């Protein structure tokens, strides 16, 4: 089987463990993870992530973007820098990511910070539209607000709603606009009943797999850094939730992911 981990911070995993990039890629390949998308959170990540993907162009792809969690650090010049990298059109730069809205941290919800979150989101969505790239979207307690942006701007390549934890109705609205739903380790926990139910009902063509490496550990690996190879654990849980055969699930999700990010 072939898997595509569509959302990782592989640079942060490497930094935290000290492992070589070749070792991380080899371990992923042993678990049939053939392709990995590395997403940025800050301007300072951009150059390193591009260098990583250049070393393994058949396995590694990347998305550059400014994450809402760090909105207080982002400057307008960082948006200019992002566009400069997009203009250079690196082959394996296949997304604008990770971008979105964050509504669970009080200090990021002041009028000033929320306004800045919205401005940076819109600016990056417009870059995605201009350069015809998909986006990988962070949305914590902000699905409805985020939806108003993506519906209004109508991106030609849409993208993925990462780490989704909303309702079926919310997911369905994004899917109807052409977005995929990122399926991560949360579905490996029996207690995550709402998310498991949503994932079981959505069209298979609307799903992709992700780990959020080194975050969001799967069940059985709590307290450990997450890794791309753990996408296989999420796949097992997904197969338990779906009526389709594992072979069909793997094939459709692989094609979904490659079409979006490779």
| 162 in a known ligand binding site | yes
The domain at 3-252 falls in which architecture? Alpha-Beta Barrel (3.20)
CA 257 to chain centre: 11
d(CA 128, CA 179): 14
d(CA 144, CA 166): 9
Q: What pLDDT does residue 38 have?
A: 98
Q: What pLDDT does residue 90 have?
A: 83
pLDDT digits (tens, 9 = 90+) for 51-78: 999 999 999 999 999 999 999 999 999 9
93, β-bridge pairs: 62
| 138 in a known ligand binding site | yes
Interacting residues of 126 by C-beta distance below 8 A, sequence separation 6+: 153
Residue 15: phi and psi, rounded to 5, are -65, -40
pLDDT digits (tens, 9 = 90+) for 85-141: 999 978 999 999 999 999 999 999 999 999 999 999 999 999 999 999 999 999 999
d(CA 247, CA 148): 36
Across the beta sheet with 159-162, the strand order is 3-8, 33-39, 60-64, 93-102, 135-140, 159-162, 180-183, 207-209
Q: Which of 257, 259, 192 has its CA nearest to residue 4?
A: 257
CA 60 to chain centre: 14
d(CA 71, CA 142): 15
Query: For the whole prediction, is pTM greater than 0.85?
Result: yes
207, β-bridge pairs: 181
| 210 in a known ligand binding site | no
What does the block give as tokens for 101?
Answer: 């809205």
pLDDT digits (tens, 9 = 90+) for 154-193: 999 999 999 998 999 999 999 999 999 999 999 999 999 9
Please give the angle made by the CA atoms of 24, 138 and 249, to the nearest 5 degrees: 60
**Contact, 10 vs 37, CB < 8 A?**
no
Q: Please name the residue that has the structure tokens 């490779």.
A: 262
62, β-bridge pairs: 38, 93
Is a pLDDT exceeding 90 seen at residue 1? no
**Average pLDDT of the residues of the chain:** 97
> What is the DSSP-derived secondary structure letter of residue 170?
H
Interacting residues of 69 by C-beta distance below 8 A, sequence separation 6+: 41, 102, 105, 108, 138
Q: What pLDDT does residue 147 have?
A: 98
How many C-beta atoms lie closer than 10 Å to residue 231's C-beta? 29
| 233 in a known ligand binding site | no
Give 12's pLDDT tier (boundaries 50, 70, 90).
Answer: very high
Give 79's pLDDT tier (boundaries 50, 70, 90).
Answer: very high
């Amino acid at each position: 089987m072939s898997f595509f981990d569509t959302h990782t911070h592989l640079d942060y995993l490497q930094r935290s463990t000290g492992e070589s990039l070749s070792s991380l890629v080899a371990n992923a390949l042993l678990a049939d993870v053939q392709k990995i998308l590395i997403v940025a959170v800050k301007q300072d990540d951009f150059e390193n992530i591009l260098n990583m993907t250049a070393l393994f162009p058949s396995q590694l792809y990347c998305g550059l973007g400014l994450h809402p969690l760090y909105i207080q650090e982002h400057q307008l010049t960082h948006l200019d820098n992002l566009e400069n990298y997009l203009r250079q059109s690196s082959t394996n730069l296949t997304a604008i990511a990770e971008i979105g809205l964050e509504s669970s941290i009080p200090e990021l919800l002041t009028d000033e910070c929320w306004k800045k979150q919205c401005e940076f989101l819109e600016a990056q969505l417009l870059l995605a539209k201009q350069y015809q790239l998909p986006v990988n979207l962070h949305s914590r307690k902000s699905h409805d607000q985020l939806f108003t942006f993506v519906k209004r701007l109508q991106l030609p390549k849409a993208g993925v709603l990462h780490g989704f934890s909303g309702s079926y109705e919310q997911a369905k609205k994004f899917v109807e606009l052409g977005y995929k739903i990122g399926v991560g380790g949360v579905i490996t926990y029996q207690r995550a009943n709402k998310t498991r139910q949503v994932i079981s009902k959505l069209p298979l063509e609307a799903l992709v797999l992700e780990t959020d490496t080194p975050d969001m550990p799967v069940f059985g690996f709590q307290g450990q850094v997450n890794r791309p190879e753990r996408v296989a654990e999420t796949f097992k849980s997904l197969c338990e939730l779906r009526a389709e055969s594992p072979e069909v699930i793997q094939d459709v999700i692989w094609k979904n992911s490659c079409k979006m990010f490779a």
